[in-house]
Each structure stands twice: as structure tokens, then as C-alpha cells.
């Protein structure tokens, strides 16, 4: 097996079209994707692990308000930010996840701490926040996560609720974008890892949790395949999308792009739109989305990093 590395990232999928994007937003998103690839690539280039690389890439995107993760996360119906994240080591199938956390600057770092130091796989809510403090992770107040754009989206969602529009049922983003961020990587030793982080969906209630922090639904890695998803979480949970893709690769030898496209098509039949990124142990990468666009990028040893936004790129 070649001793090269690959890093693949996403920053969300949805109705991402040129006519809806300003040049300024387009440029800001592309810069952030390049920065995330650079952060993860630097680790892989010096022989670091895929686990460290995906965490580093995701942290960059969590800190950027253009994405629905960490800073820039969407608001719940009550006007709060509740954050979810997961990370998984394909070599050992160790995993860590958090849901409904409110004060950790980088939720992916908390998911990693859960995996490495808690003896558990998933922590939620107040308990996860308390564990974060006990581990000395950087904390942030509500003002760090909240952005004017996300607050405006919440007000539009509330107006739609009052008007009785269809989106007042399941609380999907009024702009029909799923801004979850994620990364998958293969390191020089051939080990895979996956990481995903999200603020969920605008107007979520009752402690709603989507697919991103659920191992097998939005995040999964084994020795053969790694996947991170972004989409309509309720459907991605029902389809167990990330694991389903990897199972096809591992058990039937399907190319990862073919497996991802097939599972995405089945999920869309249920009503679930979104996207996934995938990577195999031999460095084969896949992008699959059934929406007009997906923020995405890839970097490989010896090649220039590439990013894309729209479906025709």
C-alpha cells in the first residue's frame, strides 16, 4: 500500500447556487475550505495521524462563521446554540461524540476527549459540558457562537411558523442548506478517520439531535472506508447512511463513489437530501450530493489542494 495521504472535507450541502451567492461569500467559503485543508494536510505531511488531521480540519471550519458548526451555528427555537460532533478512528473503531453542548469552543475537540479520556462513546447536554470543563477544553460564551446572520434566519423561521408555512413542521433551515462540516482522511500508515460537527437545524426543539454525532449515521470509519455526512438528519439516521456506505465498500467491494451514490439515492427516495464525503484505505475519494451544491475540498500528497462549491464544478 502506498505511503501517501489524502484529506477530504465538506462544509455543508443544499441550495448552493451561483445566483444566491455573493462574490464575497463565495471567496470567504473557498478560503476557509483551503485553510481547513492546509491545517489537516500539515499534520499528514509530517507523518501525523488521520485522527489528528480530521480534527484539525474540522476545528478550522468550526471557528469560521460561514458554516453551521461552532461559531456560526444555527439557533434553536428558544434562541440558543446547541452543538453536536463526532469523531471515529477507523483503525480501532474507537469513537467519541457529543450532543447538545453549549460552551465548548470546538465541539470536535470535546468529541475527541470523550473518545480518549471518558470511557464512553457519547455524552450529551449538561454532562458533556461538565466533562468539557473538567478536561480543560477552551470554553466560549453565547456571544462567540451567535452571529447576526443566524439570528436573522431564526427570525425568518419564527415568522414562517406564525404564518403556518410548511417549514413550520420539521425545523429545517429556511435557506435549505445543511451547513454541517466534516472531514475524512487517510494517513501515511493507511489508517482512516472521520469527523463531523454541526449546529443542527434552525428552530430545533426538545433537545433534537441529528445524524452528525451518531456513529454510523453521519460519521463512521473502519479499516476500509470513512464517511462524513451533511443533510436532513432525520433521514440520514433512518438510513444509517455513513455505515451503509462503508458496509457496501467492505462487504461487496463496491467503489466508494458507487456506494455513496446508491445510498444517497435511496435516502432521497425517503425524502432526505444532502451530501456525503467518503474515502477508502487505498485513497479513493468520493463526493456525493443530491442538492444543487456542496462546499467541499480534497488534498493529496504531492498535489495542489482543490475546493469546489457548486454542482457543476
Tens of pLDDT, residue by residue over 15-55, are 888 988 899 999 999 999 999 999 999 999 999 999 999 99
CB 39 within 8 A of CB 66: no
Does residue 115 form part of some domain? Answer: yes
pLDDT tens across 64-95, in order? 999 999 999 999 999 999 999 999 999 999 99
Q: Residue 121, by phi and psi: left (phi above 0), alpha (psi -120 to 50) or beta? A: alpha
Does residue 27 form part of some domain? Answer: yes
DSSP state of 110: H
pLDDT band of 308, cuts 50, 70, 90: very high
Does residue 151 form part of some domain? Answer: yes
Nearest to 208 by CA among 227, 244, 246, 234: 234
180, 202, 267, 291: the catalytic one is 180
**Catalytic (active site) residue 202:** no
Angle formed at CA 205 by CA 277 and CA 236, multiple of 5 degrees: 25
Nearest to 10 by CA among 305, 284, 304, 309: 309
Distances (CA, A) of 169 to 76, 204, 234: 14, 10, 13
For 204-217, what is the HEC assignment?
CCCCCCCCCCCECC
- pTM of this prediction? 0.95
What's the CATH code of the domain at 208? 3.60.20.30
- Within its chain, how far is the Cα of 236 from the centroid? 13
Helices 50-62, 23-45: inter-axial angle, 10-degree rounding: 160
Does residue 1 form part of some domain? Answer: no
pLDDT tens across 51-68, in order? 999 999 999 999 999 999
Q: Range of 125's domain?
A: 6-310
Number of domains into which the chain is organized: 1
What is residue 163's predicted lDDT score, i.e. its pLDDT? 80
Amino acid at each position: 500500500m502506498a505511503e501517501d495521504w489524502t484529506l477530504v472535507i465538506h462544509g455543508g450541502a443544499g441550495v448552493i447556487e451561483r445566483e444566491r451567492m455573493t462574490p464575497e461569500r463565495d471567496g470567504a467559503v473557498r478560503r476557509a475550505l483551503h485553510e481547513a485543508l492546509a491545517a489537516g494536510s500539515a499534520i499528514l505531511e509530517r507523518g501525523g495521524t488521520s485522527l489528528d488531521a480530521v480534527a484539525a480540519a474540522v476545528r478550522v471550519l468550526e471557528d469560521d462563521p460561514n458554516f453551521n458548526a461552532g461559531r456560526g451555528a444555527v439557533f434553536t427555537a428558544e434562541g440558543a446554540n446547541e452543538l453536536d460532533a463526532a469523531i471515529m478512528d477507523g483503525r480501532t473503531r474507537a469513537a467519541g461524540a457529543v450532543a447538545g453542548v453549549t460552551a465548548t469552543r470546538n465541539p470536535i475537540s470535546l468529541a475527541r476527549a470523550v473518545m480518549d479520556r471518558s470511557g464512553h462513546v457519547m455524552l450529551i447536554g449538561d454532562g458533556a459540558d461538565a466533562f468539557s470543563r473538567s478536561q480543560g477544553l477552551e470554553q466560549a460564551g453565547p456571544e462567540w457562537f451567535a452571529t447576526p446572520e443566524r439570528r436573522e434566519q431564526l427570525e425568518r423561521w419564527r415568522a414562517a411558523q406564525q404564518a403556518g408555512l410548511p417549514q413550520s413542521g420539521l425545523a429545517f433551515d429556511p435557506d435549505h442548506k445543511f451547513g454541517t462540516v466534516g472531514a475524512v482522511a487517510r494517513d501515511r500508515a493507511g489508517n482512516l478517520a472521520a469527523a463531523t460537527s454541526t449546529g443542527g437545524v434552525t428552530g430545533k426543539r426538545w433537545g433534537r439531535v441529528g445524524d452528525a454525532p451518531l456513529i454510523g449515521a453521519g460519521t463512521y470509519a473502519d479499516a476500509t472506508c470513512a464517511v462524513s455526512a451533511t443533510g436532513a438528519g432525520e433521514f440520514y439516521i433512518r438510513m444509517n447512511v455513513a455505515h451503509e456506505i462503508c458496509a457496501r465498500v467492505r462487504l461487496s467491494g463496491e467503489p466508494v463513489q458507487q456506494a455513496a451514490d446508491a445510498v444517497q439515492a435511496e435516502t432521497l427516495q425517503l425524502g432526505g437530501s444532502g451530501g456525503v464525503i467518503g474515502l477508502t484505505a487505498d485513497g479513493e475519494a468520493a463526493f456525493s450530493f443530491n442538492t444543487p451544491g456542496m462546499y467541499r475540498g480534497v488534498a493529496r500528497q504531492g498535489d495542489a489542494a482543490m475546493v469546489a462549491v457548486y454542482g457543476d464544478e
